[in-house]
Amino acid sequence: MKPFLNWAGGKRWLVASQAHLLPASPQRLVEPFVGSGVVFFHLRPDSALLSDVNAQLIETYTVVRDEPEEVLASLRVHDAKHSKEHYYEVRASVPQTPAQRAARFIYLNRTCFNGLYRVNRKGEFNVPMGSKTSVLRPDDDYFAWAELLKGATLVAQDFAQSIASAGRGDFIYVDPPYTVKHNMNNFVKYNEEIFSWQDQVRLAQCLQKATQRGVRVIASNADSESVRDLYSTQGWVLIRVSRQARLAASSANRKRTTEIVLSNCLTEDGHHTSPRECDESE
């Protein structure tokens, strides 16, 4: 099942090429940086905790779950009116109802530049309009998304709280904003403002505690010496994945890039596997 949101740095490549790393039937999925929820919609678990510090994102998921028909009706209006003028008018608006706010979030996400979510110091969404014009898509199914989300607890909170709630039998997938000890590019530099290197260190500590509780963990992260060093002394297996970069104005300028996937090599019942069994792709 495809997500209904686009997300800069989204992990569609992960479920396309590294799906063997994901458990087939976790007792519960915990995603502390849910973004577009690619892993959630791929695994379709009966139970999940989906969280993020972005309260507008969590509200959007909640309203799609609870009011899919109202969200879809509002999106049909945006679809009929979509234009440069309408985009910037909607971007500047503050809708009053939850369904209108969720539709605004989805509309801007689908038509802004590269699915970026960025706000200014006042908390106002400020991403310019992109080249995509698809507001409604042939494979959209808001009622199917709503049904799947009924099994999910949706919370706007810090990742540490979500990870701390996971126990043996749960599966944690984390995909934090990519930051490194020494910034590599402008996108990582922007991420530093919302997710610092100290947050990276705190995340690694939280995941190590989860491992000690017998929780299976898969983490995506920047392919950086500082990130590799952070996990090198904790028994993690690292898989380097090469993929086509997406954050470029023109597809012709999108070069290949590498990211890393980290695994703590625990089975679904909390037992260790050997690194060789775990790291099939290296």
Per-residue pLDDT of the chain (282 residues; tens, 9 = 90+): 999 999 887 788 888 888 888 988 888 999 999 999 999 999 999 999 999 999 999 999 999 999 999 999 999 999 999 999 999 999 999 999 999 999 999 999 999 998 888 888 888 999 999 998 889 999 999 999 999 999 999 999 999 999 999 999 999 999 998 877 755 544 455 554 678 889 999 999 999 999 999 999 999 998 888 999 999 877 798 888 876 665 544 445 456 778 899 998 776 666 666 555 555 443
- Look at residue 246 in the predicted model and tell me its pLDDT: 54
- Look at residue 194 in the predicted model and tell me its pLDDT: 74
- Distance between CA atoms of residues 214 and 7, nearest Å: 30
CATH architecture of the domain with range 62-144? Orthogonal Bundle (1.10)
- 10 Å CB burial of residue 13 (0-12, 13-18, 19+) is middle
Per the CB < 8 A criterion, the answer to whether 282 and 265 are in contact is no
- For β-strands 216-222 and 256-263, DSSP reports them as antiparallel
CATH architecture of the domain with range 12-53+157-272? 3-Layer(aba) Sandwich (3.40)
- Look at residue 244 in the predicted model and tell me its pLDDT: 62
Convert 145-157 to b/e letters by CB count within 10 Å (16 or more is b): bbebbeebebbee
Sign of CA dihedral 183, 187, 189, 192: negative
Q: Where in the chain do CATH 3.40.50.150 domains reside? A: 12-53+157-272
- For β-strands 152-156 and 48-52, DSSP reports them as parallel
Give me 250's structure tokens.
Answer: 């023109």
Q: What is the pTM of this model?
A: 0.89
Sign of CA dihedral 263, 267, 273, 277: negative
**Looking at beta carbons, which pairs linking 181-184 to residues 24 or more positions away fall under 8 Å?**
181/224, 181/226, 182/226, 184/222, 184/224
Q: Where in the chain do CATH 1.10.1020.10 domains reside? A: 62-144
